[in-house]
Amino acid sequence: MKVSEVARILNAKILCCEHRLHEEVTSAFGADMMSDVLAFMNEHTLLLTGLVNPHVIRTAEMLELRAIVFVRGKEVPEEILERAKEQEIVLLATDKTLYTSCGLLYATGLPECRRK
């Protein structure tokens, strides 16, 4: 699924790196613990999280993620946007909860991320 399609389904605001909306994600993972994200995700996975801090971007950088969805209408500070731009990671923000966001994406056929 293209990241642009994720944004449409979640009625999400595109916060940065619009030029990479064509990137494909093949699975998704929802978590607020970055330790779990590091354990479960691969580079083609979409991360959905309610945690908003610079460590989210650092974690995404290590995993080479293409896109992150911040859920529950969280404000995303400029510092985080700047870091994401440096890494060319698309940031999306939705007012929907983590549960609803994951449910909507799952219903369209985007599967969970399977651990290697």
Summarize as ranges the residues that interact with another protein (CB under 8 A).
32-39, 43, 51, 53, 55-56, 58-59, 61-64, 116
Are 69 and 48 spatial neighbours (Cβ–Cβ below 8 Å)? yes
Residue 93: CB minimum distance to another protein, A? 17
- Beta carbon of residue 90, minimum distance to another protein (angstroms, whole number): 19
**Between residues 62 and 106, which has the closer beta carbon with respect to another protein?**
62
Distance from C-alpha of 89 to C-alpha of 42, rounded to nearest angstrom: 14
* Choice between 62 and 82, CB closer to another protein: 62
Residue 91 to residue 44: CA distance in whole angstroms: 15
Nearer to another protein, 7 or 25 (CB): 25
Q: In whole angstroms, how close is the CB of 78 to another protein at the nearest point?
A: 16
- Count of all residues that appear for the chain in the document: 116
Where do runs of H (alpha helix) occur along 3-112?
3-9, 34-40, 54-63, 78-87, 98-107
Nearer to another protein, 22 or 55 (CB): 55
